[in-house]
Amino acid sequence: MKRHVVVVGAGIVGACCAGWLQRKGFDVTLIERDRPGEATSFGNAGSLSPAAILPVAMPGMHRDIPGWLLDPLGPLTVRWSYLPRALPWLLRFLLRANTKAMWHTGNSMRPLLRDLYACYEPLVKNAGVEDLIRRVGTLYVYDSEAEFAASAPVERMRRQVGARIDDVTPADIQ
Ligand SMILES: Cc1cc2nc3c(=O)[nH]c(=O)nc-3n(C[C@H](O)[C@H](O)[C@H](O)COP(=O)(O)OP(=O)(O)OC[C@H]3O[C@@H](n4cnc5c(N)ncnc54)[C@H](O)[C@@H]3O)c2cc1C
């Protein structure tokens, strides 16, 4: 008898779990309270990268926070009325912004992302959307030599996961 599995949440994670369970011979029911693929999975950058193992909470980021908050186009916005609710989470997040936690996250993510393309391949093929996947590189741009130098531990980590990294100059990019 076929076993039946219920997956809750039809974002990319639930959809992939459901797809793989189906391929393994399970009957699958995928439950979504809103519309499939319209939560976080809707608004992302669409990048599939085995080297994207770094956490968002990075060492030294606390130094940038005041500047981010003052910049209307900065990457961090806090709705002050929401701050009391968000504060415990934000503090836990900041406590993880250290080198030890960065390596811990990176090393945990490595095996998860190593076979990323192979895992997506049958699902993508089955959905007939191979044309949506393009295997191209990623360009990281730094504002200054100092910023580039500060990224050394991150670059080391990316190389460790097998990413091929070429250093390019502004002239090369242009
Ligand atoms: C700005 C931004 C850019 C990003 N860029 C990238 C990127 O380039 N590459 C990358 O790999 N990742 C990226 N990410 C991260 C990525 O988008 C998320 O990790 C991913 O979408 C999470 O998928 P999910 O299925 O876990 O969550 P979701 O897509 O949020 O899906 C969860 C689903 O569960 C449903 N749900 C929740 N509770 C219930 C319930 N009780 N009953 C029924 N349904 C329920 C929700 O309605 C939702 O549809 C980005 C994220 C952001 C915010």
Q: Which atom of ligand 1 is nearest to the CA of 41?
A: 21
For residue 159, being part of any structural domain is answered with: no
Angstrom distance (rounded) from CA 9 to CA 39: 10
Does 124 fall in a domain? no
Instruction: Quote the number of domains for the chain.
Output: 1
The residue range of the domain holding 29 is 1-44
Q: What is the pLDDT of residues 40-63, one digit of tens each?
A: 999 888 899 888 888 989 888 888
Does residue 96 contact residue 24 with C-beta atoms inside 8 Å?
Answer: no
Q: Is residue 83 part of a domain?
A: no
Q: Is residue 81 part of a domain?
A: no
Mutate to test the pocket of ligand 1, among 12, 20, 40, 116 (most ligand atoms within 8 A of CB): 40
Whether 7 is in a domain gets the answer yes
Q: Residue 49 and residue 105: Cα distance in Å, rounded?
A: 16
Check residue 133 and give left, alpha or beta (phi > 0: left; psi -120 to 50: alpha): beta
**Residue 107 domain-assigned?**
no
* pLDDT tens, residue by residue, 134-145: 988 888 888 899
From 32, 44, 56, 136, mutation site for ligand 1 pocket: most ligand atoms within 8 A of C-beta? 44
